[in-house]
Structure 1
């Protein structure tokens, strides 16, 4: 039966979501809560099994929510793409990493398109949510789907781009309340996509083209990357001047207009800010444009872990210890506080850099009991979170979880390098 706006309004369509990660899983829960049957697709059998039992595998998504959704009997999961044939709408939420040359790697989008295309039923709506360079939907995804499905976009298939805006752990905004951008390759695709997302998301914002939606997502994260680089550079300036950069930012933040505070840290983490800007710098080269501002921000942010390592060395030197052979406990492995997301976490890079210099590194993170597999740091997989103890030469606080007890951390009388302005300024605390 063709997908129509009337069928969407009456919740008669089945939604397939490919990729049950930090984007796809909460999106699936949100659509089920709106009354739609959803089939989740993932190559990770552990996620498929967890969904089939009504379990949450993310700490920031309560088990109670997963079980309540499971009780509606509208959510199923599979690793077989044959189930795509049952879907009226297919939403693609797969990773878009960078390769070792900081260039876009679209292999997961391409592999997904090739895998699902033979099973797409007539008049299916396909929506891409993966962050990518402007033009991907029309230049890469569209021809792939048409070639592999033997169908035509605008005739018996519909296509749109609607960038994910997930912020794991954000207690104020979630999938339902974050405004949703949507751009279609034609008017029918746009109208169907707006109707579909409007059933689950409170505010849907249509834009004129898929390219506008693609670039808007990149710009959002480039804005953050550039401003974080600015405060990171400010931190480097404040250090030799013996000025507290956090006090400076708080002071500037008293201005009620024209200023937005950003905070320095040990480096960038998460899938978005460290990666997304380079999707635009790569595409800009096609037009002969050099994005020096964006690339400089990336260089500054990528250099921060090395700066932090130098501060660890300074801390140990103060106590007449060498970095080589010293035992370092990194506090916080996830890329930001109160979540278990390790994607692009600077803590992982800090372990690598410190161990290259001969340090012996452990980590302590109640939200990450064990390091799993990752694209860049598979050699760290299997390491276990260690308890706080006085058997270390230095604590390196990289992520400020709210569950961390300041008094307990200080009680071990171990020198601490604090990258998050988390601890009170005392004799043992070195800022970085």
Structure 2
């Protein structure tokens, strides 16, 4: 069965499925269709299914025309909410969310429900790959038993592997197509089959590890590495502010060393569905082994405190102008969690806005990538960046450093700028009053 499926991948005669058509699933489905496969995308949200079937793109990392051609002209990509079509595929990737619950514990309900739907239609010789970021052990301890409820045995009747998504939204150099892939199968054959599928689709290297747990831990390690180093940069920024030292100049000086240093930068906090969340999967799993992940949790505390630090700085800056935050007009530039994307999940800008509102401040938000967003129960519409808004604001907060902001105008027209991203480093001398994180 392994040889047969590998040959199907090599000849592009396999039909592949992708469960979850979000930031990870849709780009993966598109790349598989571009490689020549018949692709069926599955999603419980009918709006996404309808948009895909109309060739309408809603993900920043997918090229609009690519999707339209695949759906309307080549007709090898379609979407459905009917999981019975799993019976038509030779391989399926699970790309559904794995959030944390209110107790900071992994919420695996979407992975479980996807596995249960797949199990209903699982057939001999099929490959199932979990791509959702999760704690080490999920593939073998959770997904495998659910799939085996079908009566088929993993490694004998079907193939199961874990391959972490490595999507970096907004990255101009690396995307789904050219980012190296890590694959860990339950058995050697599972790994070889999964690797064959990805090699037939992607340009990046496919690296096979010994088992799914290694691949699961690898992804957590990647994001924990970034989480901890960003926390260090944030803590240094707080200390440098107290000492009257420019943290950005410190980092620029440190990165002149050609070895032993990697530059990470401070900011208003962490956002997105990976770096601020993934390390807590490991923290939760570590309790099973009676181990307390002190460094990870401390890094989380530091990063989660940055919105508070930003608001405190805003208060201090306004106080220097003999103005309270209460009643002041704050123009916030950017609400997405990183530059040049339309995703504001877990954005640190949200708690900043909440605190400004609670303190009696008034705010408007400019974000060319987001038309409206939710702030608790309220829907906030973003506004256009104009000279008038810059002139009338008591303070302009650069919260996200989008490339298409008119920075010369921002520097020239603003009364006070608080730059949390060092976006105006080359224009700071043009500003009337300029503060950096």
TM-score range, shorter chain: over 0.9
Within a 5 Å distance, the mapping from 1:242-261 to structure 2 comes to 242-261=244-263
For the 8 Å contact 1:327–1:393, the answer to whether it is kept is yes
Partner of 2:27: 26
Per the alignment, residue 431 of structure 1 pairs with: 436
CA distance in structure 2 between the aligned counterparts of 1:63 and 1:255, rounded to whole angstroms: 42
CA contact (8 A) 1:396 1:418 kept: yes
Structure 2-normalised TM-score?
0.94
Q: Which of the residues 122, 126, 141 maps onto 2:128?
A: 126
Equivalent residue number for residue 113 of structure 2 = 111
CA contact (8 A) 2:415 2:432 kept: no
Secondary structure of the equivalent of 2:240? helix
Aligned to 1:341: 343
Residue of structure 1 equivalent to 2:214: 212
If the length of structure 1 is used for normalisation, what is the TM-score?
0.95
Q: From the superposition, tell whether residues 198 and 60 of structure 1 become closer, same or farther in structure 2 (CA, over 3 Å).
A: closer
SS at match of 1:43: coil
Q: Flag structure 2 segments of 5+ consecutive residues without an equivalent.
A: none
CA contact (8 A) 1:325 1:359 kept: yes
Asked if the contact 1:182/1:207 (under 8 Å) is kept, the reply is yes
Pairwise CA distance, 1:342: 1.1
* Match of residue 81, structure 2, among 79, 82, 89: 79
Residue equivalent to 1:383:
380
Structure 1 contact 99–105 (Cα < 8 Å) conserved? yes
Q: Which residue of 2 aligns with 1:403?
A: 404
In the TM superposition, residue 116 of structure 1 has moved relative to its aligned partner by 2.4
Match of 1:41 in 2: 42
What is the distance in 2 between the residues matched to 1:43 and 1:165? 23
Residue 137 of structure 1 contacts residue 161 of structure 1 at CA under 8 Å; is this kept in 2? Answer: yes
Decide whether the 8 Å contact of 1:197 with 1:204 is kept in 2.
yes
Change (3 A) 1:150 1:95: same
Query: Counterparts of 1:359 and 1:160 in 2: how far apart (Å)?
Result: 51
Q: Per the alignment, in what secondary structure is the counterpart of residue 109 of structure 1?
A: helix
Moved more, 272-281 or 102-111: 102-111
What is residue 223 of structure 1 aligned with on the other side? 225
Is residue 396–residue 414 contact of structure 2 (8 Å, CA) maintained in 1?
no
Q: Judge conservation of contact 1:86–1:121 (CA < 8 Å) in 2.
A: no
1:131 shift after superposition = 0.6
Runs ≥4 residues deviating over 6 A: none
Contact 1:222 1:273 in 2 (8 A): yes
Post-superposition shift, 1:247? 0.7
**What is the CA-CA distance between 1:378 and the residue it aligns to?**
4.5
Q: Cα distance, 1:190 vs. partner?
A: 1.1
Choose 228-237 or 154-163, whichever is displaced more: 154-163
Separation in 2, partners of 1:378, 1:15: 38
CA-based RMSD of the aligned residues comes to: 1.5
Counterparts of 1:255-334 in structure 2 under 5 Å?
255-334=257-336
SS at match of 1:40: strand
| Cα offsets for 1:327-384 (capped at 9, x unmatched) | 2221111111111111211111211222122222321101001115xxxx5424x321
Query: Which moves more between the two structures, 94-103 or 16-25?
Result: 94-103
| Contact 2:398/2:418 (8 A) holds in 1 | yes
Larger mean CA deviation between 261-270 and 420-429 belongs to 420-429
Gaps of 5+ in 1: none
**For the residues of structure 1 that align with 2:267 and 2:165, how far apart are their CA atoms?**
25
Post-superposition Cα deviations, 1:42-83, rounded to whole Å, max 9, x if no partner, equal 122222122112221123432122223332211001111111
Where 1:38 maps in the other structure, the secondary structure is strand
1: CA distance, partners of 2:328 / 2:50:
42
Question: Matched residue of 2:414: which SS?
Answer: coil
**SS of corresponding position for 2:282:** helix
